[in-house]
Amino acid sequence: DAGVTQSPTHLIKTRGQQVTLRCSPKSGHDTVSWYQQALGQGPQFIFQYYEEEERQRGNFPDRFSGHQFPNYSSELNVNALLLGDSALYLCASSRDGSNSPLHFGNGTRLTVT
């Protein structure tokens, strides 16, 4: 039973570029949440997808967007990258969108230079 998988594991981008991160949820999970974790900080909620729609959103600008596919996998897109976007991006899946426990992937380490 595969857990949450994220790709790529590491990524280096230049300011102003765009990036797409991918996530496959744990088998049996239909809800995907994305978090940004800066070094030494707690995960910050970006948004949550359920039934292919963004259901909740944190305090992140519109440069951050996402998508959920019919197979429940998800993408996080970030446009016009800033140095401050450098962080670990964590995808977490859960069941039926309620406050059920989150299962996190290993994350994508994004470095913006």
Partner 1 sequence: GQQVMQIPQYQHVQEGEDFTTYCNSSTTLSNIQWYKQRPGGHPVFLIQLVKSGEVKKQKRLTFQFGEAKKNSSLHITATQTTDVGTYFCAGGTSYGKLTFGQGTILTVHP
Q: Which residues bind partner 1 (CB under 8 A)?
A: 31, 33, 35, 41-45, 48, 50, 55-56, 58-59, 90, 92, 97-99, 101-107
Q: 14 or 53, CB closer to partner 1?
A: 53
Residue 95: CB minimum distance to partner 1, A: 11
C-alpha–C-alpha distance, residues 110 and 94, integer Å: 24
C-alpha–C-alpha distance, residues 84 and 43, integer Å: 15
Query: Is the bond preceding residue 61 a cis peptide, omega within 30 degrees?
Result: no
User: What is the three-class DSSP state of 74?
Assistant: strand
Q: 14 or 39, CB closer to partner 1?
A: 39
Residue 102: CB minimum distance to partner 1, A: 6
Residue 27: CB minimum distance to partner 1, A: 16
Residue 46: CB minimum distance to partner 1, A: 11
Q: 9 or 17, CB closer to partner 1?
A: 9
Q: What residues contact residue 89 under an 8 Å CB cut-off, 6+ apart?
A: 6, 21, 34, 35, 36, 37, 76, 107, 108, 109, 110
